[in-house]
């Protein structure tokens, strides 16, 4: 076997072959994709990550030795073969790029055999994902997945080149770190040397990248792994990859322009799509008002209309009045093509979509000829008010008005969801359409009802708008941050901010967050100290690379762009992690568990 490898160097990949290769003597390696015997001639489809080529074994070639061996081949055996490229003449296979030719083989080597795999290695598969994940090494042989990783690698190369060309240094930061306040739970690693002490895996390298700016590195980039112990969803994994960036002496506009150039380059290179730049922006306040969400999908319109002021004191309809009296709001989504939702949809589908966001129901009215309404809200609205509402919504005959009345957060979340459902039903989401937008002017803080205190909306190192610093003590809720998110098609690709570069301002922000001097000292003492030594104004951003790749690959799940992903229960089906460990390991770490097994 080794002799074959030594004497027969691979000169082509399976996917390379075209009719220009005819008559060449070639050596190929790969896996048996399929085996066919046509009247004594054996055809093997040989696969590697580049594609498939047909090998042909005739019993009369080279005394039939290779043919005899080929007869034993089965799917997924790893083999090498040598032969001459010949034309397939009439028998061209137009379905594969190499379909014009085949390799007439005189030599064959079997490197290793394979049992029948638990599922066929093909693109469309209905095998349960749990089995695919358990046999991930086989799953990854499928072109549908393999090509995602080839694309990922291409994007990484392009990313590194782009940022190197713009003066960025690639610098690694620790994985065994201390807690970073990105708002999630930490993964902890016990220290053997310091019993009872723990490292935290980084939720992001936030503090390190800022320290690098204080170190004069000027521009930092890293494609780094981050860890957040959160409940998982299709677009979340406990460990994920960020493109992490930080720059000194910059404004929000500089960072936006740099990122505009980056996404424009990637979308052009990978998808052949021209992203119009500069990417437009919308303020957080406007996004919430018009779309009910801070990551609006702008591939379509369907804005929401706030009816709170119009209705205040003028509506008897119980649900609306109740919400307004309790300090809530009323908003509506108007659909000109009202028939898109049937009565059954309005009774069942729509309320079910809204319920997970806390909405107790979605009231509706259909606009009839002459502007009158039918539906549950119709009776509670007099003619004059109805006329004003129609005007405010631009409502006309055939239209459907969907109302939500509740707390602001519930109304926004519920209608944002229904806006998406409606867009899909109406066929407004066209394939290969990309709508990028920057969301800016986020509030500095959001009120945490459970903990009854403010939390940083981005993270506590984010700078307030320079003209609002004075309001930090007097009106924290009204202070806006120099923070921005990059959103595409309703997906948050990433976010960042200009950072605080003055220790007095940093202290003010910690105070607004209700942190005591002791807490600040304990958690961020080193950082505050560093801030005092001539910190340059700086800012940065992090993009979720897995999400970016998921969009570029057209994948439905993050798992399709992560080689060895975790399940929704944060387990790795292949290796079985997380695992029990030896009692001795725990003793070494001074750890006693309280879980019964």
Name the site residues for ligand ASP (rule: CB under 6 A).
182, 204, 206, 495-497, 540-542
**What is the token pair recorded at 37?**
């015997």
- Residue 345 CB contacts under 8 Å (≥ 6 apart), including other chains: none
Q: Would you call 273 helix, strand, or coil by DSSP?
A: coil
Nearest-approach distance from CB 177 to ligand ASP, in angstroms: 13
Output 8 or 225, the one with its CB closest to ligand ASP. Answer: 225
Cα distance between residue 463 and residue 447, in whole Å: 18
d(CA 423, CA 78): 48
Side-chain half-sphere CA neighbours of 22 within 13 A = 9
By C-beta, is 206 or 305 nearer to ligand ASP? 206
Distances (CA, A) of 552 to 147, 151, 155, 549, 555: 11, 9, 10, 5, 8
3-state secondary structure of 258: helix
> Cβ of residue 360: shortest distance to ligand ASP, in angstroms?
33
Closest CA to 363 of 418, 389, 402: 402
CB of 370 to ligand ASP, least distance (A): 52
Nearest residue to ligand ASP by CB is 204
CB of 206: closest distance to ligand ASP in angstroms? 4
Give the nearer residue to ligand ASP in terms of CB position, either 98 or 497. 497
Give the nearest distance from C-beta 473 to ligand ASP in angstroms. 24
Q: Name which of 145 and 439 has its Cβ closer to ligand ASP.
A: 439
Q: How far is it, in rounded angstroms, from Cα 17 to Cα 444?
A: 58
* Distance (Å, whole) CA 511 – CA 533: 21
The least distance separating ligand ASP from the CB of residue 483, rounded to whole angstroms, comes to 8
CB of 521 to ligand ASP, least distance (A): 22
Q: Are 489 and 419 in contact (CB under 8 A)?
A: no
Closest CB to ligand ASP among residues 406, 546? 546
CB nearer to ligand ASP: pick between 182 and 388: 182
CB of 461 to ligand ASP, least distance (A): 8
The number of beta carbons lying within 10 Å of the beta carbon of residue 575 is 11
| C-alpha distance across the termini of the chain, in Å | 48
In whole angstroms, give the CA distance from residue 100 to residue 45.
Answer: 14
Nearer to ligand ASP, 163 or 300 (CB): 163
Kindly state the greatest CA–CA separation across the chain: 97
User: Given the complex with ligand ASP, which of 146 and 204 has the nearer CB atom?
Assistant: 204
The pair phi, psi for residue 469, each rounded to 5°, is -55, -40
């Amino acid at each position: 076997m080794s002799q074959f490898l030594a004497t027969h160097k691979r000169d082509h990949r399976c996917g390379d072959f075209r009719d220009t290769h005819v008559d060449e003597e070639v050596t190929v390696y790969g896996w048996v994709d399929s085996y066919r015997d046509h009247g004594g001639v054996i055809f093997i489809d040989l696969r590697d990550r580049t594609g498939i080529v047909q090998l042909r074994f005739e019993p009369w070639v080279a005394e039939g030795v290779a043919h005899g061996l080929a007869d034993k081949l089965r799917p997924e055996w790893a083999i090498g073969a040598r032969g001459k490229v010949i034309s397939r003449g009439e028998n061209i296979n137009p379905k594969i790029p190499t379909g014009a030719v085949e390799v007439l083989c005189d030599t064959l080597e079997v490197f290793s055999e394979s049992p029948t795999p638990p599922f066929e290695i093909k693109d469309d598969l209905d095998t349960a994902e749990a089995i695919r994940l358990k046999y991930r090494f086989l799953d990854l042989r499928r072109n549908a997945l393999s090509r995602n990783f080839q694309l990922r690698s291409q994007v990484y190369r392009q990313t590194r080149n782009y940022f190197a060309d713009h003066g960025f240094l690639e610098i690694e930061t620790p994985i065994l770190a201390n807690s970073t306040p990105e708002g999630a739970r930490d993964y902890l690693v016990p220290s053997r040397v310091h019993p009872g002490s723990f490292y935290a895996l980084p939720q992001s390298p936030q503090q390190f990248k800022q320290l690098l700016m204080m170190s004069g590195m000027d521009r930092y980039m890293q494609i780094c792994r981050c860890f957040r112990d959160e409940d998982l969803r299709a677009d979340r994994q406990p460990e994920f990859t960020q493109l992490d960036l930080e720059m000194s002496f910059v404004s929000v506009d500089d960072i936006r322009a740099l990122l505009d150039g980056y996404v424009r380059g990637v979308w052009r290179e990978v998808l052949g799509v021209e992203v119009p730049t500069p990417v437009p922006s919308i303020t957080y306040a406007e996004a919430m008002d018009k779309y009910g969400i801070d990551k609006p999908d702008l591939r379509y319109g369907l804005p929401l209309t706030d009816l709170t002021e119009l209705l205040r004191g003028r509506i008897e309809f119980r649900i609306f009045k109740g919400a307004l009296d309790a300090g809530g709001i009323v908003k509506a989504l108007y659909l000109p093509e009202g028939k898109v939702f049937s009565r059954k949809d309005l009774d069942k589908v729509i309320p079910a979509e809204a319920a997970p966001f806390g909405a107790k129901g979605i009231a509706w009215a259909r606009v009839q000829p002459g502007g009158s309404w039918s539906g549950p809200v119709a009776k509670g609205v007099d003619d004059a008010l109805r006329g004003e509402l129609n005007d405010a919504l631009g409502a006309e005959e055939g239209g459907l008005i969907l109302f939500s009345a509740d707390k602001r957060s519930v109304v926004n979340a519920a209608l944002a969801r229904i806006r998406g459902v409606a867009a899909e039903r109406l066929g407004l989401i066209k394939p290969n359409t990309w709508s990028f937008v920057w969301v800016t002017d986020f509030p500095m803080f959001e009120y945490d009802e459970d903990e009854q205190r403010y939390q940083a909306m981005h993270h506590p190192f984010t700078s307030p708008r320079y003209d609002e610093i004075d309001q930090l003590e007097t009106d924290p809720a009204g202070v806006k941050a120099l923070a921005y998110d990059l959103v595409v098609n309703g997906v948050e690709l990433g976010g960042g901010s200009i950072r605080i570069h003055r220790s007095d301002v940093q202290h003010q922000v910690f105070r607004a967050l209700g942190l005591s001097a002791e807490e600040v000292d304990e958690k961020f003492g080193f950082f505050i100290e560093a801030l005092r030594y001539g910190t340059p104004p700086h800012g940065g951003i992090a993009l979720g690379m897995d999400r970016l790749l998921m969009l570029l690959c057209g994948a439905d799940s993050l798992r399709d762009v992560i080689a060895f992903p975790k399940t929704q229960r944060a387990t790795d089906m292949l290796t079985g992690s997380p695992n029990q460990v030896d009692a001795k390991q725990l003793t070494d770490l001074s750890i006693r568990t309280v879980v019964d097994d």
